[in-house]
Structure 1
Amino acid sequence: MKKLIFFLITLCFALVSCTKEKTDYEAEIDTVVTDHFEFKEAVAFNTEGYNISIEALNGTFYKGYNEIRLKITNIQTNEDADASVVTFLPITVNAVGNKVSCPHLHELAYQPDENYFSGYAVFTSESNIDSIWELYISFRISNQAYKVKQIITVQEQTNKNLNMTSFTGNDDEQYFITLVSPQKPKIAENVLVAGIYRFNQPTNPPSGDFPDPSQFSYTEVSDYTLQLDPRMPEPSMGNHSSPNNKDLIQQSNGLYYGVVNYTMTGNWTLNFIMLNQRGQILKGTVVPTDFTPGVEGIKSELHIDILF
C-alpha cells in the first residue's frame, strides 16, 4: 500500500511539473517560432553590368539549412540575363584566416518556369566579428565568364525545430545533419525532413586561383537510414517516447523523410542512429526505454534537441 501511495505521489508531481513546463514552452513559442514561407531578397550586388539577387525564406540567411534562389539581371535593360553554369560557393573566414565551407549545391539548377537558379546552403555558424561568410559566384553569358565575391550575414537560428549537428562518423568521415521541416510542429504525427551531408576530403592540393571548389566539396549521402527514437528527456517527463514514429529514408529530392509523433509541447530530443547503405552504424547509440520520473533521460551520442 505504501508503495502504491508513493507511486501516485510521484506521478502527480510529474504531471504538475509537466503542466508548468508546458505552459512555459507555449509562452516561448508565441514569441520565437514563426513559419517562413515567403522568399525575399537576402542580398543583391552588381558585377560588370549585371545584378545578382539571392532570395531566401524571410529574406535572411540562417545557421542551418537555407534554400536559395538566385537571379541574374542585365542592369541596362532590366531583363533577365541568359546565364548558364551558375556556381555558388560559401566560405567562412575566421580571425586567423582559416577558410572552410559548408554543405551546399555548387552548380545551381535552373528553374525555367520562374527563371531563377535554385540551390541550398547549410551554414554551420553565424556571422560575428571573428568569422565572416563570403559567397563566391560564377556564371557564363555569351561564352564570357564572370566571377564575383560578396560578404553576407548569417543569423542565429532561433527556431530550435531547425537545429543541426555535425560529427565524425565511425568511418572517420565528417557528416552534417540539418533539420529542414517542420518549422512549427503540431501535437500530432509530423513529417520530419532532414538533410544528411558528407565532406569530401580533397585528394589533390589546391590548384588555380582561390577558391578551388575541389577543396570545399560536399555530397548528399545516398541510401542511408536515420533511425529515430524521440524522447522527452526532462526529469519531469520521465524519458517517455511516443508511438508511430518512422525512420528517415531518402527521397528523390535528396532529402530524408520520416515521421515524428509529438504527443505534447515541450523539450524533445531526436535520438538518431545513422546507418550506411550496408546497414553499418556510422554514429548513434540505443536509448534506454525505462520510464524514469525525476531522472534526466539518456540521449544517443547522435541527437538533435528541439523545442515546440
Structure 2
Amino acid sequence: MRFIKYTSLMMAVFLFSCTVEKTPFGNRLNFASRGSLQEVTYIKENGHNISIEASDGEFLRGYNDLAIKIVTANTLERLNVEEVQLSITHTDKQGRVLSAPYSKLLNNSEDNRIFKGFAVFDTPKDYSVLNATHTGIKTPWNIALTYKIDGVTYQAQKEIEVLDTRNPNLNMTEFQGKDGKKYYIALIAPEIPKVAVNNLIVGIWVEKSDNTYEVVNNYVLELDPRMPGEDMGNHSSPDNQDLTQKNDGFYHGKVNYTMQGYWTLNFILKDSFGNIVKGTQVSKKVQMGVFGEQSDLHIDILF
C-alpha cells in the first residue's frame, strides 16, 4: 500500500513538471493579489471633489471593487452625503450603448464619506489565460453619478479606461442562456489559489429589459474542475462543491486544486426550478496527449 501511494505521488510530481515545462505559460505562475482601493480619477463638479477609486487604482476586465468619496472642492471638508447612485455604460464601435453588472446604489455602511460597490467589465475582448503577457489594451467606459447632499440632488460623470485583467484567476465569461437571456459570471475569489481545497466565490447576473443587470437568485452552479492541457489529459480532483447563493448575494462553493497549472472550471448553471440555463457534462476520461473536453459554459484559470 505504501509503495502504491509513493508511486502515485511520484507520478503527480512528474505530471506537474510536465505541465510547467510544456505549456507556454510556465513562467506566469506567480500573481499578486489586487491591492487596496486607490484613486483612479477624480471629478470637480458642483463645487465638490469626487474621487473614483478601485483596487490598485485601476479598473480591469472582470470583477472590480470600487468606491466613491465626495468632499468640498476647496477645503476638502466632510459633507453630509445621503446617497450615491451609479450608472456605467460603454459605447461600442457600432455606436450601441452597452452596460454591464454594477452596484446601482452604493453602500455607505462604514462611513458616509465613502460609498462602496462593484463593477464588472467585459472588455477588452481579446483576453485569454494563454496570453504570454498583459495586452495593454484599454477600453473607454463612462461612469455617471447621481448623489444627494442635504436633500439636494447633483449629477456628475467621467470617462474611465478599463484594462485587460492582470490575474487570470479573476477571469469571467458572458453568454446567452437557453432562456434567451444574457448572463455574466465573474470570479471573485480566490485571487491567489493554493494547492488545496479553496473557497470559490463568483457573481452571477442576468440582463434585464432595460439593458441593466441584476443578481440571479437561488440558482445552482454545478462545478467540474479539470486540467485540459494535452500534457495533463483531463485530470480532475476530489472534494469539490457546487456553488450556491449566500446572504451576500454571491455564489460560494469549493474547488480542489491538486497542483499548479492551467485549469478549466466547467460549469452547469441551473435556475431555481432545476432547469439547465447553460452548460454541458464533460467526459471523465483521462487521456494523455489529447486536449480535454470543456463544458460550453466554462472559465479558464492559471496559477
Name the TM-score, length of structure 1 as normaliser. Answer: 0.86
- State the shift of 1:28 in Å: 1.2
Match of 1:103 in 2: 101
Whether contact under 8 Å (2:138, 2:163) holds in the other structure is: no
Alignment-mate amino acid for residue 175 of structure 2: F
Label 1:114 to 1:130 Cα distance change in 2 as closer, same or farther (>3 A).
closer
**In the alignment, is residue 224 of structure 1 matched against residue 213 of structure 2?**
no
**Which of 42, 45, 54 in structure 1 is aligned with 2:43?**
45
Match of 2:276 in 1: 281
User: Partners in 1 of 2:92 and 2:61 — Cα distance?
Assistant: 16
Whether contact under 8 Å (1:94, 1:131) holds in the other structure is: no
**Higher helix residue share:** 1
User: Partners in 2 of 1:220 and 1:126 — Cα distance?
Assistant: 23
User: Partners in 2 of 1:113 and 1:140 — Cα distance?
Assistant: 15
Gaps of 5+ in 2: 1-9, 126-135
Gaps of 5+ in 1: 1-10, 203-215
Match of 1:94 in 2: 92
Label 1:148 to 1:115 Cα distance change in 2 as closer, same or farther (>3 A).
closer
Label 1:15 to 1:108 Cα distance change in 2 as closer, same or farther (>3 A).
closer
- Cα deviation digits, residues 168-194 of structure 1 (max 9, x gap): 111111100000111111111111110
User: Partners in 2 of 1:38 and 1:129 — Cα distance?
Assistant: 23
Match of 1:75 in 2: 73
Match of 2:190 in 1: 182
User: Partners in 1 of 2:112 and 2:240 — Cα distance?
Assistant: 36
User: Partners in 2 of 1:132 and 1:113 — Cα distance?
Assistant: 30
Alignment-mate amino acid for residue 255 of structure 2: V
**In the alignment, is residue 165 of structure 1 matched against residue 169 of structure 2?**
no
- State the shift of 1:244 in Å: 0.3
SS at match of 1:235: coil
**Which of 212, 230, 236 in structure 1 is aligned with 2:231?**
236
- State the shift of 1:80 in Å: 2.1
- State the shift of 1:18 in Å: 4.0
Provide the aligned length of Structure 1 versus Structure 2.
283
- State the shift of 1:26 in Å: 5.0
Coordinate RMSD, CA, aligned? 2.2
Label 1:307 to 1:59 Cα distance change in 2 as closer, same or farther (>3 A).
same
Match of 2:205 in 1: 197
SS at match of 1:236: coil
Alignment-mate amino acid for residue 284 of structure 1: G
Label 1:172 to 1:116 Cα distance change in 2 as closer, same or farther (>3 A).
same
Label 1:158 to 1:76 Cα distance change in 2 as closer, same or farther (>3 A).
closer
Name the TM-score, length of structure 2 as normaliser. Answer: 0.87
